[in-house]
Amino acid sequence: MEFGGFKHLVIEQDGAALVVTVNRPEALNALSQSVVREFERLVTQLEMAGTDAKWPIRGVIITGGGEKSFVAGADIAEMNAMSPDQALAYGQSMQDVTLRMERLPLPVIAAVNGFALGGGCELAMACDFIYASERASFGQPEVNLGLVPGFGGSVRLQQRVGVGMARELIFTGRRIKADEALRIGLANRLFGSVEEMLDAAKATIAEISEKSPTAIANAKSAMHSMIHLSVEEGLAEEARSFYQAFHTEDSVEGRTAFLEKRSPQWLGR
């Protein structure tokens, strides 16, 4: 699959990973409407790839171009010219991208190399998990603009760090450094340099690419759909997913290969 014609997203394949770099240096990679449209197009292409085991890409890494920023948020200059109705459409279009990212059959890792503020923090939280370099910082500073999060932050920050911490961060608009993001569970891992972080993200995707694509897609989908559920409902969802896994050829292959003491040959179905 070709990823041509993008202006603000630099898209490169590296082994099993598709590395997507948001590149709008003049605005610290803020998510203008045209960047949102490019994300819509990218997600559509990734959805089409499905779980085909022959497709070489088995995971996506999202990072920011330049030295300073992952993504500094929604584009404040563009928002300044929007009517409330236009702002609603803008917010909902990026919310839709974040939902579709969560539903992709592929894992998506945010590799946060600098400012992840407002819409940038929200983009990172729509990824499956977050790696951070030492220069990363996170925050939902919308209150400083008299606004509130609009790309999913009110929901996902509560899920990631708990109700109390999310409220404190959103009410104060405070920016936190990478070590605090690690401590509160927003970031999974912290790295001394951007290069180290990107290498680790690629290594994680290489590790995941050794597994059955259907099992990964199944695990991701089940975990996202059970996040709002009670323990009882979540267990029912897990049982459904476990049952469904037993219908896949990959699960037969995985068990058989284990018992035959050989590496599995995944089919992606």
Residues that bind ligand CAA (CB under 6 A): 27-28, 30, 72-77, 91, 115, 117-119, 122, 141-142, 145, 147, 149-151, 153
- Known catalytic residue at 195: no
For residue 262, the 8-state DSSP code is S
Distance CA 85, CA 201 (A): 38
Q: For residue 138, give the amino acid letter.
A: F
- Known catalytic residue at 232: no
Closer residue to ligand CAA (CB): 43 or 215 = 43
Q: How far is the CB of 163 from ligand CAA (least distance, A)?
A: 19
Closer residue to ligand CAA (CB): 175 or 211 = 175
Selected catalytic residue, list 38, 142, 180, 210: 142
Burial of 118 (0-12, 13-18, 19+ CB in 10 A): buried
Q: How far is the CB of 44 from ligand CAA (least distance, A)?
A: 21
Selected catalytic residue, list 2, 122, 195, 232: 122
Distance CA 198, CA 132 (A): 10
Closer residue to ligand CAA (CB): 111 or 208 = 111
Closer residue to ligand CAA (CB): 75 or 128 = 75
Distance CA 194, CA 172 (A): 28
**C-alpha distances in Å from residue 248, one per residue of 64, 71, 97, 200, 216:** 37, 39, 29, 30, 12
Q: How far is the CB of 220 from ligand CAA (least distance, A)?
A: 24
Catalytic residues: 122, 142
